[in-house]
Structure 1
Amino acid sequence: MEGAVLIHNPKGHYHFLQGIDPYSCGVIADPGYEIVNVTLKRPIPWREGFAQIDAYLKAQGCGRTALCAMQLRSPVPFTMEGFIDFNRGYCEVLQEWGLYVEDLNPLARTNVAPLVEPPSVPMLYGFSYVLPCENDAEPTFIIAGAGELLEAALNSEGIVRRGETDRDAIREKATYVVEVMEERLLGLGGSWDAVNRINIYTVHPISELVEDIVLPKLVAGKGHGIHWHVSRPPIVDIEYEMDMRGVQRELYVNFS
């Protein structure tokens, strides 16, 4: 498991769990601030998305450093080499925006490839940002997407049960991912009863996985349900991905 370190981003008014260069493992708002999640009604190309986010944040009275998480959609899963190459360009934009904290990328991210109506190019699907709020508001957080990749190392040899898609293999993959979600959640200082959105990204059946592996973790959040995106994780041979969040505000915005 990752054993990530919680680091403060004072300019962004949130803490983040150290991840790897393309993304952090998760973010949680500081006291007196909240994370707002935005989903685009229609995804747009990711580079154009940054320009639109910039304008949107300015309209909210926020600077670029308020941006704390990104949701991307890709045409198909990348090869490991292709994923690393894409991340270089993505991280260059974050660095140009001045978002890194002591050479670390603080932004959480999910990037998956929809099976139905996939985009022709990588797209911005959504993002999250930090705003001031009442001091007694419940902490809000984003858990970054994770698949069954051991230690989050960008190495195909670290994929759990690589190349296997039978029932037992998918179950083992899902079990590992739920453990990662829990580790990140607790690492942020969050708890399962504060989670109000759980997303699962896989093309494999999930009913048994949800009943046996995911739902037992939930304390007070079962009524919020589980959101299944029939999508593939961003790297070839990864079969199961999840992300989670606990927020007070979910917005839907049209950028196009």
Structure 2
Amino acid sequence: MLIANPRGGYHFLTGISPFSSGVVADPGFEVVHATLGAHLPWREGFELIDAHLCKFGRERQALCAIELRCTTPYSMGGFIGFNAGYVELVRSWDLYVDDHNPLARTNVAPAHNPPAEPVLHAFSYTAETDDDAPTTFVVSGAGEIPEATLDDNAIIRKGETGPEAMREKAGHVAATMGSRLAAMGASWDLVTTTDVYTVFMHEDLLEDAVIPSMGPATRHGLRWYRSRPPVHDLDFEMDVRGIRHEITI
């Protein structure tokens, strides 16, 4: 379900308590994507976000997406535990819309040079623009598990990482990206960035399971991060976005 967040200048696709499934800017606004030049512990990262938004005259409610990096994949219980502290902070910023967390999110564990603690990698926020500006959006990261589920028994081909299993996992995730785009009123032809997160990059995995879904978005290529999804036993994750302005701070 797509829900309006008029204080933030965007709509969001409902997800689960810790994050939404994606955000799309309202007419007169665009989503700006900001990558940190150096990672910060995630709570300090929120302080940086606050200062950045203030500098550009935007309220906290303009924040619409968060990208985190964790030290290693959590157990499902550990992931739920981390999310409790994260949700507490998001609520303290008065960002919830009724009982819904509007922020999109990706949270992955780098395979190389992982951080010593959970850190902020990037964030997105809305800024004013022309009413007829192109649609901009962020789709949250998703792994090979049914939507709105935090049950590790529901993981597709759990414990299997061979070529056939990974194609099934990747195909499911690519389809999830497509269904979220459609639910947000967007499409692959508006996607400017496609990110893939896995350590099991078998030959032809992307060609067989992901690229056929992308259609015109393939002109922008794909970015592969050798990273794990945030929950142990998940093996493939993707996120996508359609952005006009990318900055580094």
Provide the TM-score with structure 2 as the length reference: 0.98
Question: Counterpart of 1:224?
Answer: 220
Match of 1:106 among 79, 102, 110: 102
- Residue pairs, 1:25-174, within 5 angstroms: 25-174=21-170
1:175-190 paired onto structure 2 within 5 Å: 175-190=171-186
Moved over 4 A (4+): none
CA distance in 2, matches of 1:51, 1:242: 27
Distance 1:47 1:35 in 2: 22
Instruction: Give the counterpart letter for 2:139 in structure 1.
Output: I
State whether structure 2 residue 21 is matched by structure 1 residue 22: no
Moved more, 196-205 or 219-228: 219-228
Aligned to 2:246: 250
Structure 2 gaps, min length 5: none
Bigger mean CA offset, 104-113 vs 217-226: 217-226
Residue 136 of structure 1: how far off its partner (Å): 1.0
**Whole-angstrom distance in 2 between the partners of 1:207 and 1:101:** 43
Equivalenced residue count is: 249
Q: Is the contact made by 1:22 and 1:87 (CA closer than 8 Å) also made in structure 2?
A: yes
Deviation at 1:207, TM superposition (A): 4.9
What do the CA deviations read for 1:218-240 (whole angstroms, capped 9, x no partner)? 33322211000000000000000
CA distance in 1, matches of 2:234, 2:119: 20
Q: CA deviation at 1:135?
A: 1.0
Query: Residues 11, 250 of structure 1: CA spacing in aligned structure 2 closer, same or farther, 3 A cutoff?
Result: same
Distance 1:127 1:206 in 2: 30
What's the secondary structure of 1:149's corresponding residue?
coil
What's the offset of the Cα at 1:206? Answer: 5.2
- Output the CA distance in 1 between the equivalents of 2:202 and 2:164: 13
Assess if the C-alpha contact under 8 Å between 2:109 and 2:229 holds in 1. yes
- Deviation at 1:182? 0.5
Higher mean C-alpha displacement, 209-218 vs 233-242? 209-218
Distance 2:211 2:233 in 1: 26
Q: Answer yes or no: is 1:203 the counterpart of 2:199.
A: yes
Structure 1 counterpart of 2:48, which letter? Q
Offset at 1:106? 0.3
Aligned mates of 2:204, 2:107 — CA distance in 1: 24
Please report how far the alpha carbon of residue 32 of structure 1 lies from its aligned counterpart in structure 2 after TM superposition. 0.7
Per the TM alignment, residue 89 of structure 1 is displaced from its structure 2 partner at its CA by 0.2
Residues 18, 25 of structure 1: 8 Å contact kept = yes
Q: Which amino acid aligns with 2:21?
A: C
What is the identity percentage for the equivalent residue pairs of Structure 1 and Structure 2? 50
CA distance in 2, matches of 1:46, 1:59: 20
Distance 1:7 1:175, change over 3 A: same
- Residue 208 (structure 1) shift: 1.2
Matched residue SS, 1:143: strand
SS of structure 2 residue aligned to 1:218: helix
Q: Is the 8 A contact 2:167 2:208 kept in 1?
A: no
Q: Is this contact kept in 2: 1:151–1:158, CA < 8 A?
A: no
Cα RMSD of the aligned pairs, angstroms, is: 0.9
